[in-house]
């Protein structure tokens, strides 16, 4: 039987979406599978995983696309152009078919902000190489993405340390 890739979606307002995707990468790399991790937003400050990624440089391609833009920017046209450029890169990575697992981290925000049509994401995933697993993370995934996905977990915030006045910690970085 030929392996069919899964489309996994981690959404919701709780912590653990990106970290769960990282964990999947860790697991897949252990099987010797090639992994592409494309970060659309969080970008440059995630020092921890970038350092860890170096130990898997033979298998893991780690791309930080969010460095150049922010949602607080005054230049909306530039932001949209950068978002679409990041999305073009992701589509090219999928089409290239060099990876068994492709992670599109925080992609939902680009859809929520109207920078990428949801249908374009659904179509890209539907026409991906059949054995490829794809993970999309981010808050507020739309109904179309939820219907298209094979597995959907909502990470629901029950309690957050900021509500207790605790600052983000090095290594944990929540």
Active-site residues, by number, are 13, 15, 17-19, 27, 69, 71, 106
Beta strand residue intervals within 12-99, DSSP E: 35-39, 60-64
| d(C-alpha 24, C-alpha 104), whole Å | 12
What 8-state DSSP symbol labels residue 6?
-
In terms of Cα–Cα distance, which of 143, 102, 98, 118 is closest to 6? 102
Residues of this chain, 100-139, that bind its own copies according to CB under 8 A: 100-101, 133
Distance from C-alpha of 63 to C-alpha of 94, rounded to nearest angstrom? 13
49, 79, 106, 118: residue in contact with its own copies (rule CB under 8 A): 49
Q: Binding marks (x or -) toward its own copies, 58..97, rule CB under 8 A?
A: ----------------------------------------
Q: Write out the residues near its own copies by the rule CB under 8 A.
A: 3-6, 8, 10-12, 14-33, 46-53, 55-56, 100-101, 133, 146, 149-161, 164, 166, 169-174
């Amino acid at each position: 039987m030929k392996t069919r890739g899964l489309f996994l979606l981690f959404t919701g307002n709780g912590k653990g979406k990106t970290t769960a995707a990282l964990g999947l990468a860790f697991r897949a790399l252990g099987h010797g599978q090639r992994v592409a991790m494309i970060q659309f937003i969080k970008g440059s400050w995630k020092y921890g995983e970038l350092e860890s990624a170096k130990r898997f440089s033979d298998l893991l391609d780690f791309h930080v696309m969010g460095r150049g833009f922010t949602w607080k920017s005054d230049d909306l046209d530039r932001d949209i152009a950068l978002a679409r450029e990041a999305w073009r890169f992701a589509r090219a990575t999928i089409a290239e078919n060099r990876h068994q697992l492709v992670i599109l981290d925080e992609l939902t925000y680009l859809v929520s902000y109207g920078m990428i049509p949801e249908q374009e994401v659904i179509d890209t995933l539907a026409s991906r190489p059949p054995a490829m697993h794809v993970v999309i993370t981010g808050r507020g995934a739309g109904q179309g993405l939820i219907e298209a996905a094979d597995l959907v977990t909502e990470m629901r915030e029950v309690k957050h340390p900021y509500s207790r006045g605790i600052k983000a910690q090095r290594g944990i970085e929540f």
